Structure 1
Amino acid sequence: MNRATALKIFPAPATSLLLLLVWLLLNNSVSVGHLILGSVLAFVIPLLTEPFRDEHAFVNKPLLALKQLLTVLYDIITANVQVAILILGPNKKLRPAFVKVPLDMTEALPITLLASTVSLTPGTVSAEVYPVTENHIDNANLEQKYLLIHVLDLKNENELIQEIKQRYEAPLKEIFQC
């Protein structure tokens, strides 16, 4: 069996293996029945979801992706503490605002991951990703994408934009090389 045939039968072997492992862990059993059912699910689910897979969405730097995941987890924990302090303090200190962050990325998956990361971090919520057409000197229409974020307590808009771009967008851009 050549590689092309194997990929048609198992379009995502790592996903199949992960599905089987998760099935066995969720059932807390490695009995023959669970092995067979888990194997069937691990075989069928990737085949059924193949048409929805984006072939351009490929993680080029898995170690950087792991580092980014750890960074996001750290930020979630620290933001929880910061939001708790803000909520327990006097509400008149809160400065809620919407911030428009210009994006350098154009691919859907990295933008979705950025919006999700912002929403997972307490105190911020992604409200919308939208394009704005700009006319340039050479009359070419370039589509600039923005991420609209609601912030619970905005101290400095430019610092927030730079932090999101450096801490989240730049690594995602490098991970997906877009």
Structure 2
Amino acid sequence: MLPYPLLSASLVIMWLALNGFTLGHLILGCIVSVFASWGMAALRPVKPRLPKWYLLPKLVSIVLYDIVRSNIAVASILLTGRSKRIKSGFITVPLELENPTALAVLAVVVTSTPGTAWLEYNSLNKSVLIHVLDLVDEEAWRVLIKTRYEALLLEIFE
């Protein structure tokens, strides 16, 4: 009946904390928490397989380095007034990744790096549309994403 009992109990407690304790709110909070628990059970993703989990620290260090480097680059664009001369644009990057968890990780990596945003994944032709703030060379961005992130994610997840 309750696939996530801690979630259900937390929701009831939060419901009562926000609305005050009455018998009606207790019953309504219990009903809401049961349906929320069922909803979470329906959304439960397949547990990811990580055959080469030991490569995760390498991925994290690369991403953290790129985030710091991109923060500095974006800050310099904004502070030096180069924002009028930059050419932002959209690029399509073909991907080999098919694992949903690996695609989600790649989306988080691309979006968390300042100056880039993951916009759309096309599952029919396995490509992603990305917006880049300072787009100088489209092919260089494609190579960067495929060699720096996708290759490592392919190794970790497949």
- Fold match by TM threshold 0.5: yes
Per-residue deviation, residues 145-172 of structure 1 (Å, max 9, x unmatched):
1110000001110111000001111111
Match of 1:64 in 2: 55
Compute the TM-score of the two structures, normalised by the length of structure 2. 0.70
Q: How many residues align?
A: 123
Match of 1:168 in 2: 149
Correspondent of 1:159 among 135, 140, 155: 140
For the structure 1 residues 51 and 58, does the alpha-carbon distance in structure 2 shift closer, same or farther, using more than 3 Å as the test? farther
Contact 1:99–1:150 (8 Å) recurs in 2: yes
Between Structure 1 and Structure 2, which shows a larger proportion of strand residues?
Answer: 1
Compute the TM-score of the two structures, normalised by the length of structure 1. 0.62
For the pair 1:103 / 2:84, whether they are aligned, the reply is no
- What is the alpha-carbon root mean square deviation over aligned residues? 2.3
**1:2-21 pair list within 5 angstroms:** none
AA matched with 1:112? A
Match of 1:130 in 2: 122
Unaligned 5+ runs, structure 1: 1-46, 132-142
Unaligned 5+ runs, structure 2: 1-36
Deviation, structure 1 residue 56: 5.5
SS of the residue 2:125 aligns to: strand
> 1:68 & 1:171 partners in 2: Cα distance?
7
For the pair 1:113 / 2:105, whether they are aligned, the reply is yes
Identity of aligned residues (%): 38
